[in-house]
Amino acid sequence: NAGVTQTPKFRILKIGQSMTLQCAQDMNHNYMYWYRQDPGMGLKLIYYSVGAGITDKGEVPNGYNVSRSTTEDFPLRLELAAPSQTSVYFCASNLDGANTGELFFGEGSRLTVL
Amino acid sequence: QKEVEQNSGPLSVPEGAIASLNCTYSDRGSQSFFWYRQYSGKSPELIMSIYSNGDKEDGRFTAQLNKASQYVSLLIRDSQPSDSATYLCAVPSSGTYKYIFGTGTRLKVLA
């Protein structure tokens, strides 16, 4: 059972480039989340999804886009990368949404924008 | 803006002592509260959840909740060097599906 899988684990981008961070879960969870974590800081919610075809903005959505075409996959798209997007990105999933328990995290994707 | 606040630390305690980590939250409607541990370079992992006022114990860990004061704490008894990590408090935002995280408290257990 793989849980939550994120790819790539590391990536260096140049300013203005675009890329997609992939996230997949095999636990049949309805709820999926993208967080970013800057050094020495907590997790800031970028986007989340409550099921296939349904997404919504979190605290820091600017510069990002998401889609959720299947229950398993929740990719995060960075358009026109900026140095401010240098961070560690975590994808997480949960069976029944907030208030009901554990968030399962992927191993993270470390992105550097130069 | 609903907030979750933690002292960033570092909190240093000697091995075998009790470590006390605190978290306050602004959303009075929140009903559940979670503590995650994050080792350096790793992803967060759940260590405790609490839903009712009072104490909840699990091994060396005790979570304490006071909804009237909007305060949740985590006690770690008999602290070990392996407990050295950042501890994140997470509070689901009422009426939404979003978990709001504090900035985390870095704990250092000194051997």
pLDDT tens-digit readout, B33-84: 999 999 999 999 999 999 989 999 999 999 999 999 999 999 999 999 999 9
Residues A43, B42: C-beta atoms closer than 8 Å: no
d(CA A114, CA A98): 35
Measure CB to CB from residue B98 to each of A41, A45, A101 and give the nearest one. Answer: A45
Is residue A8 reached through a cis peptide bond, with omega within 30 degrees of 0 on the bond before it? yes
Query: What band does A41 get if pLDDT is binned at 50, 70 and 90?
Result: confident
Q: Which residues of A touch B32 (CB under 8 A)?
A: 98-100
What confidence score (pLDDT) does residue A40 get?
79
What confidence score (pLDDT) does residue B4 get?
93
User: Is A32 touching B (CB cutoff 8 A)?
Assistant: no
Mean pLDDT over A83-94 rounds to 96
Residues B97, A107: C-beta atoms closer than 8 Å: no
Chain B residues whose C-beta is within 8 A of a chain A C-beta are 4, 6, 8, 31-32, 34, 36, 42-46, 49, 88, 90, 92-93, 96-104
- Burial code of B42-65, b = ≥16 C-beta within 10 A, e = fewer? ebbebbbbbeeeeeeeeeebbbbb
Q: pLDDT higher for A95 or A4?
A: A4
What confidence score (pLDDT) does residue B70 get?
94
Measure CB to CB from residue A48 to each of B44, B49, B97 and give the nearest one. Answer: B97
Contacts with B16 (C-beta within 8 Å, 6 or more apart), sequence order: B78, B79
What confidence score (pLDDT) does residue B92 get?
87
Least Cα distance to B76 among B89, B65, B61, B64 occurs for B61
- What does the pLDDT look like over B13-39, one tens digit per residue? 999 999 999 999 999 988 889 999 999
What confidence score (pLDDT) does residue B1 get?
67
Query: What band does A99 get if pLDDT is binned at 50, 70 and 90?
Result: low
CA distances from B53 to B32, B63, B95 (A): 10, 10, 20
What confidence score (pLDDT) does residue B71 get?
94
